[in-house]
Amino acid sequence: MDKTQNTISASKIMLAQLMQPEHANNHGNVHGGWVMKLVDECGALACMRHSQHRVVTVALDGMTFRQPIRIGDLVTLEGRVTYTGRTSMEAEVLVNAENPVTGEKIHTNRATLVYVALDDDGRPISIPPIVAETEEEIQLYEEARARHSIRSK
């Protein structure tokens, strides 16, 4: 694996999905559990891209639902690895909703999740360290490292 594959930017992944009536809760908005499923998939894909291994979710540090997502919105998710340990990775996932007719976009969610890379026998496997290149990425890395330190206690 060359150095460019170990960068935060190289782990970045984007998903998009149009929200349909089957995604609705009793209030007519997208069900929070559906959003959490998409967030988990996006974070896992970023971690698989970085580690080049299958991963499993081990923690969801936090997720705040800032705005409702409506049926008919195009939901876009952007995930990236922000921290790596020996076998674990933290991913940040940002969620936005867009009205595809008007183009109006709103930020709806942000989540941080932790995944562990697995070998072919399902055991944790060592992964390459992540490289932060920009000031923003260095800040993300330091914040994630602090969360990792708290989780490890």
What pLDDT was estimated at residue 63?
A: 87
Q: In angstroms, rounded to a whole number, what is the distance separating the alpha carbons of residues 106 and 29?
A: 14
With a threshold of 0.75, does the pTM exceed it? yes
Q: In angstroms, rounded to a whole number, what is the distance separating the alpha carbons of residues 108 and 60?
A: 17
What pLDDT was estimated at residue 152?
A: 80
CATH of domain 3-151: 3.10.129.10
Counting every residue written for the chain, the total comes to 153
Q: In angstroms, rounded to a whole number, what is the distance separating the alpha carbons of residues 107 and 113?
A: 18
What pLDDT was estimated at residue 134?
A: 95
What pLDDT was estimated at residue 151?
A: 84
- Residue 127 parent element (H or E): none
Tell me if 58 sits within 8 A of 114, measured CB to CB.
yes
Q: In angstroms, rounded to a whole number, what is the distance separating the alpha carbons of residues 153 and 151?
A: 6
- What is the mean pLDDT of each successive set of 10 residues along the chain, which is 153 residues long? 73 97 92 96 98 96 90 97 96 97 96 97 96 95 92 81
What pLDDT was estimated at residue 30?
A: 96
Long-range contacts formed by 29-33: CB under 8 A, 24+ apart? 29/68, 29/69, 29/70, 29/71, 30/68, 30/69, 30/70, 30/71, 30/73, 30/75, 32/65
